[in-house]
Amino acid sequence: MIAAPAPTPKAVMAALERIADPEIPAVSIVELGMIGDVDVRPDRIHVELVPTFVGCPAVDMIRASIEDRLSAFCCRVDVDVSYATPWSSDRITPAGRVKLRRSGFAAPPPVREGRALPMLDAASVPCPYCGSHRTRLESVFGPTQCRSVRYCADCRQPFEAFKPV
């Protein structure tokens, strides 16, 4: 019998980094900024899960994936959905942004205070296909809670963009 791997913080983070987001499998839940504090002890691993949107229907699936993946480390796994640190689209990592673009999703512009529309309509949302900045907002609301729909005037391609929140 092979002994279960020791739950070191590094090994646990590596395991979390391999969990894909159920809606955009090209990026991991770590790259999307959905993992908060991770507390690793010999007999217990505690993970703070930070949902992108409060009503995100994928949260239960992600929680189950974390429990399943970390159960390889032998001990008790607790996953707490937490709002102590509210998720913001600024939490998406640089590597996550690159992977989003490669999958056809524009990364969100930085979150600023004030009204949402200027932020959403920022000219700084380049087309993930051709890189053009001549893109416009088509619909604030998209196929999932975290996405908007934009259109590129150069390659004439509609694309999805993460909402800045």
- Applying CB under 8 A, the residues found at the interface with another protein are 53-57, 82-84, 86-88, 115-117, 138-145, 163, 165
Q: Measured from the CB atom, is 41 or 112 closer to another protein? A: 112
Q: Min. distance of Cβ 9 from another protein in angstroms?
A: 25
Residues 6+ apart with CB under 8 A from 89: 52, 108, 111, 146, 162, 163, 164, 165
Residue (93 or 145) nearer to another protein, CB: 145
| In the complex, least distance from residue 14 CB atom to another protein, rounded to whole angstroms | 28
Closer to another protein by Cβ: residue 9 or 57: 57
* H/E stretch holding 48: strand 44-49
* CA dist., res. 102 & res. 105, Å (int): 7
Q: How many whole angstroms separate alpha carbon 155 and alpha carbon 92?
A: 26
Structure tokens at 39: 């507390």
Instruction: Kindly state the smallest distance separating residue 2's Cβ from another protein, in Å.
Output: 35
